[in-house]
Amino acid sequence: MKPLILVTNDDGVQSPGIAALIKAVKPLGDVVVLAPDGPRSGMSSAITSHVPIRMKEERKEDGLLVYSCSGTPVDCVKLAINELLDRKPDLLVSGINHGSNAAICVLYSGTMGAALEGTIFGINAIGFSLTDQAADADFKDAAAYARIIAEKVLKTGLPSGVCLNVNIPNTTIKGIKVCTQTKGRWINEFFKSKASQEQDVYWLTGEFRNDEPNNADSDEWALANAYVSIVPTKIDLTAHGLLDEMQQKFSSLHLSSLPS
| Stretch 144-163 residues interacting with a second copy (CB under 8 A) | 144-145, 147-149, 151-152, 156, 159, 161-162
From 183, 208, 210, 224, residue interacting with a second copy (rule: CB under 8 A): 183
Residues 6+ apart with CB under 8 A from 42: 10, 108, 109, 110
Torsions phi, psi for 201 (to 5 deg) = -130, 155
* Residue 67 sits in the site that holds a second copy (CB under 8 A): no
Torsions phi, psi for 92 (to 5 deg) = -120, 130
Distance CA 178, CA 14 (A): 30
Eight-class DSSP state of 82: I
CB of 136 to a second copy, least distance (A): 19
Stretch that binds a second copy, among 1-9, 14-22, 60-68, 79-87 (CB under 8 A): 79-87
From 19, 47, 154, 224, residue interacting with a second copy (rule: CB under 8 A): 47
* Residue 55 sits in the site that holds a second copy (CB under 8 A): yes
- Name the region of 170 (left: φ>0; alpha: ψ -120 to 50; beta: rest): beta
CB nearer to a second copy: pick between 3 and 161: 161
* Residue 76 sits in the site that holds a second copy (CB under 8 A): no
* Other CB atoms within 10 A of residue 169 CB: 22
CB of 42 to a second copy, least distance (A): 4
* Residue 63 sits in the site that holds a second copy (CB under 8 A): no
CA angle 153, 103, 118 (to 5 degrees): 35
* Other CB atoms within 10 A of residue 176 CB: 17
CB of 97 to a second copy, least distance (A): 13
From 41, 97, 101, 167, residue interacting with a second copy (rule: CB under 8 A): 41
Between the two ends of the chain, the Cα-to-Cα distance in Å is 68
Question: Please, which of residues 97-116 interact with a second copy by CB under 8 A?
Answer: 104, 106-108, 113, 116
CB nearer to a second copy: pick between 112 and 137: 112
Binding mask 184-213 for a second copy (x = CB under 8 A): -xx-xxx-xx-x---xxxxxx---------
From 6, 7, 114, 230, residue interacting with a second copy (rule: CB under 8 A): 230
* Residue 221 sits in the site that holds a second copy (CB under 8 A): no
Binding mask 120-139 for a second copy (x = CB under 8 A): xx------------------
Distance CA 197, CA 108 (A): 32
CB of 92 to a second copy, least distance (A): 14
From 8, 9, 45, 97, residue interacting with a second copy (rule: CB under 8 A): 45
Distance CA 235, CA 112 (A): 11
Distance CA 50, CA 27 (A): 39
Q: Which of 14, 20, 11 is nearest to 150 (CA)?
A: 20
CB nearer to a second copy: pick between 138 and 217: 217
Distance CA 64, CA 60 (A): 6
